[in-house]
Amino acid sequence: MSSTAARVAIVTGGSRGIGRQVVARLAADGYAIVVNYASNDAEGRAAVAEAVGRGGQAIAVRADVGDPEAVAALFDAAEQTFGGVDVVVHAAGIMNPPTPLAELDLNVLDRVLRVNVRGTFAVAQQAARRLRRGGALITFSTSAIGLALPGYGAYAASKGAVEGLTLILARELRGRDVTVNTVAPGPTATDLFLKGKDEETVARLAAQPPLERLGLPADIAEAVAFLAGPARWVNGQVLRVNGGIV
């Protein structure tokens, strides 16, 4: 399978949650998609089937984003299959159960940093080397940074590193016609967010934004599609997609 006409997007964490919705949204816009996933082959295949059902081309590639060799192979697969890479959406990430710093197991911190920080650097490094002119890199942070919720120190710290990289990398890519931006969702109805929360907690968080609801993966995917395509004058920014919560 190959394509010289369609723009090509790699979506890490593309088999579930927000990443899965991004795959569907970009496929509907005519992108050829490389769906990256960490471990669940069935979910990877399902994301590809959904993208094809939206009229796009797609393949699934299993890769650990914290492994630079695996990430390089992911980009190789995109280039070999579709001829190049125009957009990279790095949606892969993990969240530890909220834990006060005094009680945090630093082995848990290491796992969070490996995926959320090392993974972002590994993906961004390949994107910086390989994105074609007119391309876009979109990484993910979290509005939990602004909310400063107790217990979210490890997760917020990992995403703060992502935000710190955004403008620096945009400036490093001067002259390449490649944009670098970060999307920072607020509370969004995904398995990652809902896991371990009781109904009262979910209802309280849903009531915080002026729009009085949780975000949906489709809300986030719309912002990603904007940054991936028409938003060529938005660069080096962190876009808080959270319904006005912070």
pLDDT average per 10 residues of sequence, the chain (246 residues): 70 96 95 96 95 92 98 98 98 94 98 98 98 98 94 97 98 98 93 80 89 94 96 97 91
Residue range 8-241, CATH number: 3.40.50.720
CA-CA distance, 142 to 146, in Å (whole number)?
8
Active-site residue, from 31, 37, 152, 155: 155
**Tally of residues, the chain:** 246
- Of 78, 116, 72, 75, the closest CA to residue 94 belongs to 116
The answer to whether 155 is a known catalytic residue is: yes
CA-CA distance, 139 to 159, in Å (whole number)?
10
CA-CA distance, 201 to 178, in Å (whole number)?
40
For the record, the structure tokens of 106 come out as 């630093």
Q: What is the pLDDT of residue 54?
A: 86
